[in-house]
Amino acid sequence: MAAKFENAVTAAAGFRAAGVHVGVKTSNKEKRDIALICSDRPCAAAGVFTTNRVKAAPVLYDMEVVKTGKARAIVANSGNANACTGQRGKEDAAAMAAAAAAALGLDQEDVLVCSTGVIGQFMPMDRVKAGIAAAAGALSETGGRDAAEAILTTDVHRKEMAKTVDLGGIDVHIGGMAKGSGMICPHMATMLCFLTTDAVIAADTLRKALNEAVSRTFNQISVDGDMSTNDTVLILANGAAGNAEITEGGAAYDAFLAALKDICLYLAKKIARDGEGATHLLEASVINAKTEADALSVAKSVVSSDLVKAAIFGKDANWGRIICSVGYAGVDLDPTKVDISLESYKGTVTVAKDGCGLAFDEGLAEEILSEENVTAVIDLKAGSAAGKAWGCDLTYDYVKINADYRT
């Protein structure tokens, strides 16, 4: 499966995108902050949303739209979350959809809306509407990069990926872009992800594939343990590839799902590595668990621990913090059987066996933890299941960034 990492959201046939600057957050003088994605034909649509009881107005709006199983466009802004804004927030989300629909010649129900940024402030709708009109005029097949930039907040890097998969001799394309850097602890996080495909696939099948992909990727990352009000993953499928319809249980479904998972995993790991102030990507790999659910829970617990994250930042092989986070993951396990190793490109060091510490080479451990990508391997010796999660270290810069985020 060929991959590309720029203009990914427009890699599928029939999709165009744009990103423009309007100053949604007035302190952002030049940053692109309105993104628009549109298909030239009707699409099947599906979405996954935050489980936070406090949901932003665009999330509530989109949850209703995806129930229809169809949409053709996504409009998004950065700089303002439109969360905790009451009835006016709901009206503003609908107004964004209406403005995009008018500019694109669509029905309002064809447009999904997303926002990310500061909570509790009203949208500057005059600027937003002007930006939507400008974005509609700038739509192009090469506008994916600009759109990917427009949804970033404290992110340092764009996050894009597309893949081509052969389904019965026909090339089908799947592409995606994401944002996320802080307030990351899914189900899901302050993250947005927009996926597009030219595959022929029904909305119910698309929804199942998306849910499966998200459960093992975006739902397995953590930057800071905070769950956002705006988390959204959306996918549009316009059928332009002309493949035989993908149905659950067939080889085509398996190939489509594998490519979708690859893209979601790549974007999820990019979000974890781009955590605010982060210097390391931390992977927790749990092996020999009773069930996959147990493995996923333990892995997520490890990467979510502030103490583990601080130890990774300090290049301190403090395995006690890891086994502690294993113990409160809510999984039935025998702590006297747990082995822990640390790995990176510099090598592997086993720091604990059967729940007890080992004498190990501290110098080698520090070298291992000095690499950008670090893995903690936790062997539960309870079965044959495995699972992974991804996070980052906790640095001084995380505090600096979040101390004045609103202003």
Strands 170-180 vs 191-197: parallel, antiparallel or unpaired? antiparallel
Is residue 388 a contact partner of residue 402, using CB atoms and an 8 Å limit? no
The continuous run of DSSP H or E covering 138 comes out as helix 125-138
Strands 373-379 vs 385-392: parallel, antiparallel or unpaired? unpaired
Active-site choice (85, 116, 153, 190): 190
- 190 part of the active site: yes
Q: Is the dihedral of CA 209, 212, 217, 223 positive or negative?
A: positive
Task: Specify the 3-state DSSP secondary structure of 8.
Answer: helix
Distance CA 264, CA 217 (A): 6
Is residue 17 a contact partner of residue 146, using CB atoms and an 8 Å limit? yes
Is residue 72 a contact partner of residue 38, using CB atoms and an 8 Å limit? yes
Distance CA 81, CA 119 (A): 5
Distance CA 46, CA 207 (A): 5
Is residue 285 a contact partner of residue 386, using CB atoms and an 8 Å limit? yes
CA distances from 55 to 95, 226, 335 (A): 18, 14, 38
CA angle 270, 271, 276 (to 5 degrees): 120
Q: How many C-beta atoms lie closer than 10 Å to residue 343's C-beta?
A: 18
| Residues annotated catalytic, as ranges | 190
